[in-house]
């Protein structure tokens, strides 16, 4: 790879800015000052430094984000702040995108990557990747709802969901009425699905948070709006998804 291309791709500046920087002698390769911006190297082997800072070469990025409310799951938006806006510039330069989406008012686990194959595998209907949510639901969620969700419920457009696993964690009275705190596992990702499933049984979701997607669990140490790179073990578990095609039975 050309030296100027490497520096630009890793977020140190534009291609023209990097050419000027190289000519100024502030870039070294294996402890040698290089002033030829067309110098070619193996980015995975060479020790490249920009003004003393190590240039770490990456082609792909895998990020776990604890999405806050008020941020949209998109790469760009003309009105709202996006999840990409929460990333540092040196991570944005790799052009990651959200895998699936969380509603603007939904919190929780969101994976961002530029690995299109992994994203496709995680979102493919054939994979039936489980997604687990915690929610506060206004209304008396009971055994009838557990049974209905296990059988699949008809949404407002007539679509019948796949069987889902509903757990009632606790209930308490609030100013608005009885509040049920639940955990729900679904195996698909229709638009506003969790909210629409509860609307189908006469309840209203007032707070929603995703805590897992397939084998990936939301890090409890990750504050709202913060993110981190996936660990090697987390990445390996996600990459194994493409080998699994779960039957709809």
Q: What is the pLDDT of residue 10?
A: 82
**Catalytically annotated residues:** 103
* Of residues 244, 248, 238, 246, the one with CA closest to residue 100: 238
Which residue is associated with the tokens 């193996």? 42
| DSSP run (H or E) holding 174 | strand 165-174
| CA distances (Å), origin 248, targets 60, 126, 135, 195, 212 | 32, 8, 25, 22, 20
Q: Which two tokens stand for residue 11?
A: 């977020």
Q: What is the pLDDT of residue 223?
A: 95
List the pLDDT tens digit at each of the 249 positions of the chain: 899 988 887 878 888 899 999 999 999 999 999 999 999 999 989 999 999 999 988 888 999 999 999 999 999 999 999 999 999 887 888 899 999 889 999 999 999 999 998 898 888 877 889 999 999 999 999 999 999 999 999 999 999 999 999 999 999 999 999 999 999 999 998 899 999 999 999 999 999 999 999 999 999 999 999 999 998 889 889 888 755 544 333
* Of residues 96, 95, 141, 122, the one with CA closest to residue 189: 122
* Of residues 231, 198, 210, the one with CA closest to residue 98: 210
């Amino acid at each position: 790879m050309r030296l100027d291309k490497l520096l630009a791709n890793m977020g140190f500046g534009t291609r023209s800015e990097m050419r000027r920087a190289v000519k100024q002698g502030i870039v070294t390769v294996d402890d040698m000052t290089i002033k030829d911006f067309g110098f070619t190297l193996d980015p995975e082997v060479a020790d490249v430094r920009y003004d003393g800072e190590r240039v770490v070469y990456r082609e792909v990025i895998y990020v776990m984000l604890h999405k806050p409310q008020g941020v949209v799951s998109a790469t760009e938006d003309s009105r709202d702040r996006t999840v990409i806006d929460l990333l540092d510039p040196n991570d944005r330069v790799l052009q990651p995108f959200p895998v699936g989406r969380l509603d603007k008012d939904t919190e929780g686990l969101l994976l961002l990557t530029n690995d299109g194959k992994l994203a496709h595998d995680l979102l493919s209907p054939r994979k039936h990747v489980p997604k687990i949510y915690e929610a506060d639901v206004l209304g008396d969620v009971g055994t009838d709802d557990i049974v209905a969700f296990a059988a699949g419920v008809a949404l407002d457009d007539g679509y019948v969901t796949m069987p889902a696993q509903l757990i009632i964690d606790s209930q308490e009275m609030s100013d608005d009425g009885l509040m049920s705190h639940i955990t729900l596992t679904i195996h698909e990702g229709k638009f506003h699905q969790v909210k629409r499933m509860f609307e189908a049984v006469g309840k209203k979701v007032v707070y929603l948070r995703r805590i897992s997607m397939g084998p990936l669990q939301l890090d409890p140490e990750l504050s709202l709006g913060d993110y981190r790179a996936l660990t090697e073990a987390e990445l390996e578990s996600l990459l194994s998804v493409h080998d699994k095609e779960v039957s709809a039975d």
